[in-house]
Amino acid sequence: MAQARPEETEPVSVSPPSLWRDRDYMYWWSGNGLSTLGTSVSTLAFPLLVLHLTGSAAQAGVITVLHMVGRLATLAVGGALADRVSRRAILCLVPLVQAVSMGVVALLVHRGDPSITPIGAMALLSGLAAGLRVGVSMPVLRRIVPKEQVATATAQGMGRDMVAQLIGAPLGGLLYSMGRWIPFLFDAVSFLFVTLGSLLIRRPLGPDRHPDDGPRASLAKDVGDGLRMIRRSDYLVFTLIWGAVLNAVAEGFILLFVVLVQHRGGGPTAVGLATSLAVTGGVIGAVLGPLLMGKLGARRVLIISAWVFMASFAVVVSVSQPWQIGLVVMVGMVSMVPMNVVIESYEVRLVPDQYQGRVAATSRFFIQAVQWIGPLGAGILADAAGVERAILVLAAAMALLAITLHAARRYLKVLDIPLADVEELPPPGAVPTGEQSGPAAPPQDDILTPATGSETLGDTQQR
C-alpha cells in the first residue's frame, strides 16, 4: 500500500501589525506631532508679536528669515552628526535647546515689551537646533519602522504634520489673544514631548559602531561622503534635482493661490477657508499615497500625481469663487503628497543606515536652498503680467516636470520594484558583489533583491 505523500504548502505571507500598535513608533509619531503643533502655533505668533512691537512687516519677515537661515546652516552638519554620534542623544538634547529658546521668548514677552534683538536671537537659535533635528529624523524612522511599511509611515508623518498645521493656526490665534507670551510657552512645552518620546523608544537607534571601523573621519569628509552616496544612484540624483524644482514651483503656487483668492474678492476669512481646504487635501493624499502605491505601483503614482497637480494649476484660474479655488487646490494637494511619499520612501530604502543622516540632510539642504526662487519668481510674474498668467506659467513649468518623468525611465527604474524588495545601495568605495577581483566595477545603481520577513530596517543593519 503506497504511503500518501504530504502535500506541499505555499509559505503564507503574514502582514506586519499596524503601526498604530507599535509602541516605539507611537512614541516617535506623537512626540514629533505635538512638536509640529507647537511650531505651527509659534509660527503664527511670531509675526503678530513683531508687528505689535515694531509695526514693521519687514522686521516680522526678518524673524522668519533668521529661523530659516539657522535651519539651513546646520542641515548638512546635522546629517553628518546623525551618522557618527548617538541619534537618541541628538533627539533628546536638541529639542531641549529649542524648548529653552521658546521659553526665553515667552519669559521676555511676559515681563513686558521686549527688544526685537533677543527675539531674533532666539529665533536663530531655534532654527539652528531645528536643522540638527532634520538630519536625524529619517535614520531614526528607518530603525523603528518595518521596511515594508516605510511608505505608510512616511505618509502618516506627512498627514500628521498637515493636521498640526491645520489646527495650529487657529489655536495660535486663540492663545495669542489670551496672552502674547502663551503661544511661545506652548511651543516650548511641545518640544519636551520629543525628548520624552525619544527616551521611551526601546529599539536601538544607531549608528552602529564596530571594532574594525577605524578612526572617525572629519565632519567635512562625512558631508562629502553623503554627496558621493547620492551620486551612486541615478534615482537619488534625479529626484534631488527634480524634487527641488517641484518644491520651488509648489512654493510659488502657494503664494499665488493666496493672491488669487484676494484677487477674486476674498478677505482673510476666505483665505483661511481656502487654506483649510488645501491642507485637508494634503491629509487625504497622505492616506491615499501608500494605498495607491500598492495598487498602481510607485512610478504610475508619481506620473499620475504630477499631471493631476499640473491640471489643478490650469483649472484654478478659471473659477471665480474663493471656495471653488479652495476645492481645486485641495485636489492638487491630494496629488502633491503621494509624490513626496514615493520619493522619500524609496530614498529611505536605498540608502544604507550609516549614510541616512547625511543623504537626507543633503537632499533637504539643496531643496530648501532653492525653494525661495519659487515665491520670488511667482511674485515678480504676478506683478508684471497678472496673477492668472503667472499661475499659467507655473502650470507650464509643472507640465515640463511631468513630461520629464516620462523621459526619465532609466533614472526611475527602481520605482518598478515593490518598495519592500529594494536592496540598499553599496556604500562609496565598496566592491560590488561578484567583483572582488579584477578591475573596479562601476557603481551599482538601485539594486534589488527579494526581501522577506517584517523585521525593521534597523534590525537588518545589525552586524
End-to-end CA distance of the chain: give it in Å, rounded.
52
What value does the CA radius of gyration of the chain take, rounded to a whole number of Å?
A: 23
Is residue 146 helix, strand or coil?
strand
Q: How many helices (H) and strands (E) does the chain have?
A: 15, 0
Percent of the chain that is helix, strand, coil (3-state, to 5) = 75, 0, 25
The neighbour count for residue 23, using CB atoms within 10 Å, is 11
Residue 283's H or E segment, with its range, is helix 268-296
Residue 210 CA: distances (Å) to CA of 104, 114, 313, 354: 41, 51, 52, 12
Report how far residue 212's alpha carbon sits from residue 232's, in angstroms, rounded to the nearest whole number: 24
Closest CA to 48 of 35, 39, 38, 57: 57
Q: 349 exposed, middle or buried (CB, 10 Å; 0-12, 13-18, 19+)?
A: buried
Range from 15-29, 48-62, 106-120, 247-261 carrying the lowest mean pLDDT: 48-62
Q: 112 exposed, middle or buried (CB, 10 Å; 0-12, 13-18, 19+)?
A: exposed
Q: Looking at the predicted structure, is the pLDDT value of residue 450 above 80?
A: no
**Domains in the chain and their CATH numbers?**
20-194 (1.20.1250.20), 224-420 (1.20.1250.20)
Report how far residue 416's alpha carbon sits from residue 419's, in angstroms, rounded to the nearest whole number: 9
Average pLDDT over residues 310-315: 93
Residue 164 CA: distances (Å) to CA of 100, 128, 158, 279, 378: 22, 22, 10, 10, 27
Q: Looking at the predicted structure, is the pLDDT value of residue 214 above 60?
A: no
Share of the chain above pLDDT 70, in %: 86
Under the banding of pLDDT at 50, 70 and 90, the label for residue 395 is: very high
Write phi, then psi, for 218 (nearest 5 degrees): -70, 160
Whole-number average pLDDT of the chain: 82
Closest CA to 445 of 363, 350, 314, 381: 350
What's the pTM? 0.72
Q: Looking at the predicted structure, is the pLDDT value of residue 61 above 80?
A: no
Is residue 115 helix, strand or coil?
coil
Is residue 35 helix, strand or coil?
helix
Helices 150-178 and 23-54 pack at an angle, to 10 degrees, of 40
Under the banding of pLDDT at 50, 70 and 90, the label for residue 147 is: confident
Write phi, then psi, for 422 (nearest 5 degrees): -85, 125
Tell me the per-residue pLDDT of 81-123, one tens digit each, with 9 for 90 and over.
Answer: 888 889 899 999 999 999 999 999 999 999 987 888 999 999 9
Report how far residue 253's alpha carbon sits from residue 313's, in angstroms, rounded to the nearest whole number: 8
CB 224 within 8 A of CB 355: no
CB 355 within 8 A of CB 304: no
